Every structure is written in C-alpha cells, then in structure tokens.
C-alpha cells in the first residue's frame, strides 16, 4: 500500500497496490487497515488480507492494524 512505503527500510524492489506491476515475487506483503487506504476501500483491504492469509505460500507475521506476511521459503 502506498501509505506504508515511507515507513519501510530502503529496498531495491518495492511494489504498491495501484502501482506498476512487478515481475518479482514478493518476499514480504504489508497491508494496513488504518490510515489512508487509497487506492483500496476497507472491503478491498479486508479481501486482500484474506487472500494472503489463505495463501500457503505466505505466513502471517503480524495481525492488525498492520498485517505482515512473509513468503515461505521452499
């Protein structure tokens, strides 16, 4: 989410919802239910959280209001 980018440590590859599509598979997903949710609304944010929570490729590291998911290494 674009509102979270200023709070992240410098990364070589950062993709945001509504930004240019990335060809890289993310190692981390950060989704917040607080603050400016643009370009999503609260229902879309909840749906994205559910999608990553049920995706076996990711494990939940933190739950609300910042949801953090880490890609599980094979």
Q: What is the mean pLDDT of residues 49-61?
A: 94
Backbone dihedral angles phi then psi of residue 26, each to the nearest 5 degrees: -70, 145
Residue 45 half-sphere exposure toward CB, CA atoms < 13 A: 20
The DSSP 8-state label assigned to residue 4 in this structure reads G
In this prediction the pTM is: 0.75
Rounded mean pLDDT, 44-69? 93
Mean pLDDT confidence for 12-18: 66
Q: Which residues have C-beta within 8 Å of that of residue 59, sequence separation ≥ 6?
A: 69, 70, 72
């Amino acid at each position: 989410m674009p509102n979270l980018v200023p709070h992240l440590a410098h990364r070589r590859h950062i993709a945001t919802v509504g930004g240019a599509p990335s060809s890289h598979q993310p190692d981390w997903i950060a989704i917040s239910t607080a603050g400016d949710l643009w370009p999503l609304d609260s229902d879309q944010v909840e749906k994205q959280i559910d999608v990553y929570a049920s995706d076996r490729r990711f494990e939940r590291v933190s739950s609300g209001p910042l949801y953090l998911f880490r890609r599980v290494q094979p």
